[in-house]
């Protein structure tokens, strides 16, 4: 007895809890036999195992009897301590088909095996559990070179594997629901994203609370849930809790999550699980949006039947609820923005109709006024009377120009402007238009430089619109240039035509450049020949250029000048075919609905 105790103390000493348990065991009554008769290979390996802080186990003999250290003990779960000294097939009947081929290989070949993040479904805590491990089975060589046992070194990676898998699902959920434009979209996209995560969320339902807080309507859910079980489309949140159903109402009212662990008794075998056994647990979580006093929805999330809902699992479900809350908040914000945009668009349409009506009302009397004034100017020899008539005529022309511009805008916005794109000698037309300003430019003490060489082919433009584009830009240049020159240049290429109107005028401040084409924008404090102007000329130019599928750009430097560059494509393929006039067509049969050019110089 003394010899046994001395041998046991030496062999099991320093082995912690498992060393103490082994010292208390009468090994002579087990297949291992008396401790003092154990072979040296077993003693040496067990000494290493018991004194290691890394999880290690020994499977000894042909039946693989089990010995293990303190660090390995959690691997076996509730099977401890009954697992100590038992054959491997009795300890692990649920995974014996998975690991026995490795045992046979090690015994047969003397070569170790290694597995990484391998799934083993263990029954160690009263249920079939999804577990992952990195592990090795290494041969223990006895006397004569025979393999007497197997050393198992193992690290459980379950939480890392599950965390990686769940993090991927959360990323997928965020990616998909981030594009939701409506609350219904958020529900549908959530269900789509969770399809890839049935191992962790076999079934999910999303209920959205109504604006009055009295009902919750089903907004989305797992395909398996919607197709395989009876689910209420609407839940009365004012009614008492249904003890046999999902606690939607109390969760929505309290804003507190609930965990259910009696799903089978409540609902039977729920669909969606990738495993044969039915889900046992679920969480019902409120969808909480920061800044709102009550829940905006309720999420039902059913758990994997092979994992228990612990703190990590609860945190995962709460992260899903948080992402759904963000998607709903963003969708509602988008819906509100869209409602505001619709309201603004309606106001804009009303404004357009108003401008159109008012412009028409102004245009007729203006036309009737101008003709008698023109006749009076031709008939009078009185200098004072002529001066008064010229003042009336000049301001009537300005008003007519504004009215026509407003009419063009209203037609463009209403989609009623009918352009007529016809083959045009653009160099000749542009030169003629620039010539209108020759006299005024010279009277102002400036130089007008026109460089418009003939183009290789006719350009397809609406002539009335092109006239407005050129005259508007020249009018602006003359208004803000006091010395130097105004230049008009036209260049053609194989794919595009470019018009430049530049000046050596006062220039545009950098802070105004981004807004220069905005309607009614005027540069404050700008020095010009006159202070009249509505601030819509350049905006109209941009719209007219856009109707030619072109672009307009501006560069400017204060006190050095400004350059506007217009680029339009060559040919006519980019234009609406119904508005293109072929060279053989008679233009008189088709006319532009533009208002035509108003005189720009008085």
Name the band, by pLDDT with cuts 50, 70 and 90, for residue 134: very high
Least confident of 195-204, 236-245, 462-471: 236-245
Please tell me the distance from the alpha carbon of residue 130 to that of residue 120, in angstroms, as a whole number: 7
> What is the pLDDT at residue 335?
87
For residue 595, is pLDDT > 60? Answer: no
Asked if the domains at 162-331 and 412-589 fall in one CATH topology, the answer is no
Task: Please tell me the distance from the alpha carbon of residue 219 to that of residue 43, in angstroms, as a whole number.
Answer: 65
Looking at every residue in the chain, the average pLDDT score rounds to 88
Helices (H), 380-527: 383-414, 426-435, 438-443, 463-479
Q: How would you label 434-454 residue by residue, b for 16+ Cβ within 10 Å and e otherwise?
A: bebbeebbeebebebebebee
Q: How many residues does the chain have?
A: 602
- Residue 90: alpha-carbon gap to chain centroid: 53
pLDDT band at 387 (very low <50, low <70, confident <90, very high): confident
**Residue 366 in this model has a pLDDT that exceeds 80:** no
Look at residue 151 in the predicted model and tell me its pLDDT: 97
Tokens of 279: 């889900």
CA-wise closest residue to 472 among 406, 401, 412, 407: 401
Least confident of 176-180, 365-369, 377-381, 449-453: 365-369
What phi and psi, each to the nearest 5 degrees, are found at residue 58?
-120, 130
pLDDT at 451 over 50: yes
Q: In the predicted model, is pLDDT for residue 602 greater than 50? A: no
- 505 CB neighbour count, 10 Å cutoff: 26
Q: How far apart are the first and last CA of the chain?
A: 129
Give the pLDDT confidence score for residue 357 in this predicted structure. 67
Lowest mean pLDDT among 70-79, 194-203, 452-461, 590-599: 590-599
Report the alpha-carbon distance of residue 430 to residue 361 in Å, rounded. Answer: 33
Report in angstroms the alpha-carbon separations of 203 from 223, 258, 514. Answer: 8, 16, 52
- For residue 229, the model assigns a pLDDT of 60
User: What is the structure's pLDDT at 118?
Assistant: 97
What pLDDT is recorded for position 599? 45
The pLDDT, as a whole number, for residue 247 is 93
Helix ranges, 218-262 (H): 223-228, 248-254
Average pLDDT over residues 122-151: 94
Backbone angles phi, psi at 384, to 5 degrees: -65, -40
**How high is the pLDDT of residue 581?**
87
- Give ∠ CA 529-533-539 in degrees, rounded to 5: 120
Pair of tokens at residue 554 = 């501006």
pLDDT in tens, 390-418: 888 877 777 777 777 777 766 776 666 77
Percent of the chain with pLDDT over 90: 61
pLDDT at 137 over 90: yes
Q: Does domain 412-589 have CATH number 3.30.565.10?
A: yes
What are the domain boundaries of the chain?
Answer: 2-156, 162-331, 338-396, 412-589
> With bands split at pLDDT 50, 70 and 90, how would you rate the model's confidence at 51?
very high
Q: Kindly indicate the confidence band of residue 4, based on its pLDDT and cuts at 50, 70 and 90.
A: low
The topology under which CATH files domain 2-156 is Beta-Lactamase (3.30.450)
Average pLDDT over every residue of 222-228:
64
CA angle 480, 484, 487 (to 5 degrees): 80
The mean-pLDDT minimum among 271-280, 324-333, 584-593 falls in 584-593
Mean pLDDT, to the nearest integer, of 179-187?
Answer: 90
Total-model pTM: 0.62
How many Å apart are CA 326 and CA 297, to the nearest integer? 12
List Cα–Cα distances, 487 to 439, 450, 533, 557, in angstroms. 15, 6, 22, 16
Q: What is the largest distance, in Å, between two alpha-carbon atoms of the chain? A: 148
Q: Tell me the pLDDT band of 11, cut-offs 50, 70 and 90.
A: confident
587: pLDDT strictly greater than 60: no
For helices 16-23 and 2-12, angle between their N-to-C axes, nearest 10 degrees: 160
Q: What class has domain 162-331?
A: alpha beta
pLDDT of residue 60: 97
Predicted local confidence at residue 495, as pLDDT: 93
The H-or-E segment that residue 502 falls in is: strand 496-503
Residue 600: band (very low, low, confident or very high) from pLDDT cuts 50, 70, 90: very low
pLDDT band for position 49 (cuts 50, 70, 90):
very high
Peptide bond preceding 81 in cis form (omega within 30 of 0): yes
Three-state DSSP state, 279: coil
What pLDDT shows up at residue 91?
97
Is residue 489 within 8 A of residue 451, CB to CB? The reply is yes
Digit-coded pLDDT (tens) for 261-297: 999 999 888 888 899 999 999 999 999 998 888 999 9
Supply the pLDDT for residue 298: 95
């Amino acid at each position: 007895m003394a010899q046994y105790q001395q041998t046991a103390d030496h062999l099991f000493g320093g082995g912690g809890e498992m060393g103490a348990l082994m010292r208390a065991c009468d090994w002579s009554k087990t297949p291992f036999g008396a401790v003092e008769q154990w072979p040296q290979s077993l003693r040496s390996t067990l000494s290493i195992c018991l004194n290691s802080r890394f999880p290690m186990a020994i499977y000894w003999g042909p039946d693989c009897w089990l010995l293990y250290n303190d660090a390995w003990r959690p691997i076996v779960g509730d099977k401890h301590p009954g697992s100590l000294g038992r054959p491997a097939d009795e300890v692990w009947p649920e995974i014996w088909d998975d690991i026995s081929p490795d045992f046979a290989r090690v015994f047969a070949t003397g070569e170790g095996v290694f597995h990484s993040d391998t799934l083993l479904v263990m029954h160690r805590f009263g249920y079939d559990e999804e577990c992952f491990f990195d592990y090795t089975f290494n041969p223990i060589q006895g006397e004569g070179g025979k393999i007497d046992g197997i050393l198992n070194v193992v690290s459980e990676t379950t939480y890392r594997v599950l965390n990686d898998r769940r993090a991927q699902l959360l990323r997928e959920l965020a990616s998909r629901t981030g594009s939701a434009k409506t609350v219904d979209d958020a529900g549908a996209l959530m269900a789509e994203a969770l399809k890839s995560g049935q191992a962790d969320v076999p079934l999910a339902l999303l209920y959205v609370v109504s604006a009055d807080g009295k009902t919750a309507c089903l907004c989305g859910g797992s395909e398996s849930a919607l197709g395989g079980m009876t689910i209420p489309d609407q839940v009365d949140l004012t009614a008492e809790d249904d003890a046999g159903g999902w606690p939607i109402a109390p969760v929505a009212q309290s804003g507190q999550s609930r965990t259910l662990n009696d799903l089978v008794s409540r609902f039977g075998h729920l669909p969606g699980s990738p495993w044969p056994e039915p889900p046992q647990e679920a969480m019902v979580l409120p969808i909480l949006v920061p800044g709102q006093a009550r829940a905006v929805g309720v999420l039902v999330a059913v758990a994997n039947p092979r994992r228990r809902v612990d703190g990590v699992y609860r945190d995962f479900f709460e992260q899903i609820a948080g992402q759904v809350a963000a998607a709903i908040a963003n969708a509602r914000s988008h819906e509100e923005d869209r409602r505001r945009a619709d309201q603004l668009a309606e106001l804009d349409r009303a404004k357009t109709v108003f401008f159109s009506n008012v412009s028409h009302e102004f245009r007729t009397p203006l036309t009737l006024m101008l003709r008698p004034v023109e006749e009076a100017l031709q008939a009078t020899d009185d200098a004072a009377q002529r001066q008064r008539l010229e003042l009336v005529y000049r301001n009537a022309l300005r008003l007519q120009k504004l009215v026509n511009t407003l009419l063009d805008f209203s037609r463009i916005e209403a989609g009623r402007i009918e352009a007529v794109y016809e083959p045009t000698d653009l160099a000749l037309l542009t030169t003629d238009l620039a010539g209108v300003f020759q006299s005024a430019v010279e009277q102002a003490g400036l130089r007008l430089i026109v460089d418009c060489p003939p183009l290789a082919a006719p350009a397809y433009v609406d002539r009335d619109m092109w006239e407005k584009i050129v005259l508007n830009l020249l009018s602006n240049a003359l208004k803000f240039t006091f010395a130097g020159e105004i230049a008009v240049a036209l260049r053609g290429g194989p794919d595009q035509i470019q018009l430049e109107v530049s000046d050596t005028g006062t220039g545009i401040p950098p802070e105004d450049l981004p807004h220069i084409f905005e309607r009614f924008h005027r540069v404050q404090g700008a020095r010009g020949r006159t202070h009249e102007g509505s601030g819509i000329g350049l905006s109209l130019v941009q719209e007219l250029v856009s109707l030619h599928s072109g672009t307009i750009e501006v560069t400017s430097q204060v006190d050095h000048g400004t350059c506007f560059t217009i680029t339009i494509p060559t040919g006519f393929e980019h234009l609406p075919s119904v508005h293109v006039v072929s060279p053989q067509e008679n233009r008189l049969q088709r006319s532009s609905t533009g208002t035509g050019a108003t005189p720009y110089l008085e």
